[in-house]
Chain A
Amino acid sequence: MDDHPAETAVAEKRSSLFVELLKRLLREKPLGTFGGIIILTFMLVSLLAPTLAPFPYTEIHLIDRLQGSSSTYLLGTDQLGRDFMSRLIYGARHSALVSFSATTLSLLVSLLLGGVAGFVGGKFDLGVQRFVDAWMSFPGLLLLLTVMSIVGQGVLQIIVVLGISYGIGNSRIVRSAVIGIKGNDYFLAAKALGTPLNQILFRHVLPNIMPPLIIIFSINIGSVIMSEAALSFLGFGLPPEVPSWGGMLSREGRQYMEMAPRLALWPGLCLVSVVYGVNMFGDAMRDLLDPRMRGGEGSYGTAVVKRKRGFLSRLLNPFA
């Protein structure tokens, strides 16, 4: 019946990683599912922003400045009479754009840096690791602030800066995953058989570091959203004309806080719910994908190994 049974089996297995993950998420992790729903809503709102927003986010109605909620302006207006809800919706769009692009970029950077360092090993790895050490001891927000003050505010700037910065930090996790694979029999067997390098990388290494990559991705989205908001709040992130939750909170929100406290309330509530959803989803993903996190059984005599593992999982998720 089937000409290539083996290939079909491989294809089936591949699709089932994600299908299986989704099934287990729905069955075992109610909070994770709830987080997933928040993320889906967040993504839908950002994609459909032009349709959902009742007004263009730059449209100024000076007569209607700082109005409260009404049937025209559902959440009122800001100090220039711009519809506040439209600006919040576009804030979601920019937040999603920045977080997804920056996190994707960070994955590429960490794959390149950590993957190559782990794969090549030796002196090269040692050198790269000192650089990563130096980078990681530079407190995140300070580094971001400093670089942003040089490259200037802007959507592209913040994506590149956040992506590279997070990527270098994450490269540690990719590196340890790659080093772990290098010790496995299937890797040694593939090498002994003279498998070409690209085949080793794409058939043996990449599929096996997928779980940590998915965990990094889902956990980092939340941190990137927070970093962008903090940078914009301090005036070093997205430029003032681009609506972003952090920027709205610090500009409109703090300037008009006595007259219109909702201008500070809503962007924060949006941030909290999205980050909450992302965190819940990320936690669920880690529980489902990282078998080490499931344990509760003691393991005597392996304390040194255990400490190393503990460090990796703490890197993966400092909030565990």
Chain B
Amino acid sequence: MKAYVIRRLLLLIPTWVLLTILVFLSVRFIPGDVIDAMVGRMQYMAGDIDREALEKMLGLDQPVHVQYGRWVGGMLFEGTMGDSLLGGWSVEEKIFGRLALTIELGLLAIFIALIIAVPVGIFSALRQDTAMDYAGRSFAILGLATPDFWLATMIMIYPAIWWAWSPPMELIPFTEDPVGHLSTFVLPCLILGTHFSASIMRLTRTMMLEVLRQDYIRTAWSKGLRERVIIVRHAIKNALIPVVTLIGLHFPLLVGGSVIIENIFALPGLGRLLLDALSDRDYPVVSGVNLLFATVVMGGNLLVDLIYPYLDPRVRYE
């Protein structure tokens, strides 16, 4: 196990380095564009601008590998991600300022997804091929096919037309009014969570069906244990192990979903920051947010792999 953990961590280093190159190059492939956009913008505001001076000021006159080295070096040794090209503010400070909201959105969405999906999935499996099972499965199948941006748009439109009610669009800080804060947050999290609950539900149901056919469940029945004991103590525990992996694998989707949801509900989180930076071509900000998200996804996958042997003692890493 220890050797496995060390090997896994060592493999992470080249992956992370490749990731930084990918993140860096993906935005800096056409460096001319940034300057063009900025010169255009500044000419509009302040008259003629010296292109070369601007490039020099931003450090964009250096060859790409020098720029990359500065960027990574800054992160590793000084803990900075550079400054915004347009606003001049420090990227990492802005990111940390917005981090809490996105984390809260993601965690609440996972929480909602789990409290919807797990009971329904278990029930669906226990009452296989009944009306309730079909209802649950249809919900899951439709949930998978329904884009969250459409669901969110529908929730903005129809209640407003039918009952003149529209979701609150102003975010109340948690410290000022916890209840009000959560009430502004419930809807976005619910939409994001419902989307995930579909896949979690299907996996829970499949795993539960598989577990219920195992020999040890038959043994438990023949011992005369009550149904509740069999399900709670013997079946659910084993059926839910793969669900943990699924949550880990869903991290990237969660990130994408939060970008869309933050955009629709005008929530000032990281996704919104990224979209704004992309339309402004503010590349240091784009790289910073992308790298952070990607690192979180990497960490999440690692975490799932590492806790797996504790959840399922049958799994041994050699």
Contacts and interface: CB of A to CB of B under 8 A. Distances in A.
Interface stretch (A74-82, A143-151, A175-183): A143-151
Given A271-B147, A298-B214, A138 B242 contact: no
B32 to A, nearest CB: 12
B149 to A, nearest CB: 5
A303 B252 contact: no
A288 B113 CA distance: 30
**Residue in A275, A297, A320 whose Cβ sees the most chain B Cβ within 10 Å:** A320
A264 B154 contact: yes
B206 interface: yes
A137 B22 CA distance: 11
B252 A140 contact: yes
A1 B202 CA distance: 54
Interface stretch (A83-91, A193-201, A205-213, A246-254): A246-254
Contact of A258 (B23, B30, B160, B315): B160
B198 A319 contact: yes
Nearest to B160: A258
9 contacts: A137-B252, A142-B259, A142-B293, A143-B290, A233-B147, A246-B147, A264-B153, A272-B147, A273-B145
B80 interface: no
Contacts of B294: 134, 137-139, 142
Interface string B170-181: 000000000000
Interface of A: 130-131, 133-143, 145-147, 149-150, 222, 226, 229-230, 233-236, 246, 249-250, 253-254, 257-258, 261, 264-265, 267-268, 271-273, 275-276, 279-280, 295-298, 300, 303-304, 307, 310-311, 314, 318-320
Question: Which 4 A/B pairs are nearest by Cβ-Cβ distance?
Answer: A141-B256, A268-B150, A303-B314, A276-B145
Interface of B: 11, 14-16, 18-19, 22-23, 26-27, 29-30, 33, 141-142, 144-147, 149-150, 153-154, 156-158, 160-161, 198-199, 202-203, 206, 209-210, 213-215, 242, 245-246, 249-253, 255-256, 259-260, 263, 274-275, 278-279, 281, 286, 289-290, 293-295, 297-298, 301, 308, 312, 314-316
Contact of B213 (A147, A275, A297): A297
B274 A145 contact: yes
A318 B154 contact: no
A131 B14 CA distance: 9
Nearest to B318: A304
B315 A304 contact: yes
Given A138-B290, A141-B260, A229-B147, 19 more contacts: A134-B18, A139-B297, A142-B274, A142-B290, A145-B275, A147-B26, A150-B26, A150-B27, A230-B149, A234-B263, A264-B150, A264-B157, A271-B145, A271-B150, A275-B147, A298-B214, A303-B312, A304-B314, A304-B315
Contacts of A320: 202-203, 206
Contact of A146 (B26, B154, B256, B312): B26
**Residue in A149, A276, A304 whose Cβ sees the most chain B Cβ within 10 Å:** A149
A307 B315 contact: yes
Contact of A261 (B157, B213, B253): B157
A137 B19 contact: yes
A146 B286 contact: yes
| Chain B interface mostly | helix
A250 to B, nearest CB: 7
A141 B83 CA distance: 24
Contacts of B255: 139, 141-142
A235 B264 CA distance: 13
A47 B120 CA distance: 41
Contacts of A130: 11, 14-15, 18
A143 B294 CA distance: 10
B157 A314 contact: no
Nearest to A263: B157
Nearest to A144: B256
B142 A276 contact: yes
A319 B293 contact: no
B153 A253 contact: yes
Contacts of A145: 259, 274-275, 278
A310 B238 CA distance: 14
Contact of A314 (B145, B242, B253, B290): B242
Contacts of A226: 147
A281 to B, nearest CB: 12
Contacts of A264: 150, 153-154, 157
Given A131-B18, A133-B15, A304 B316 contact: yes
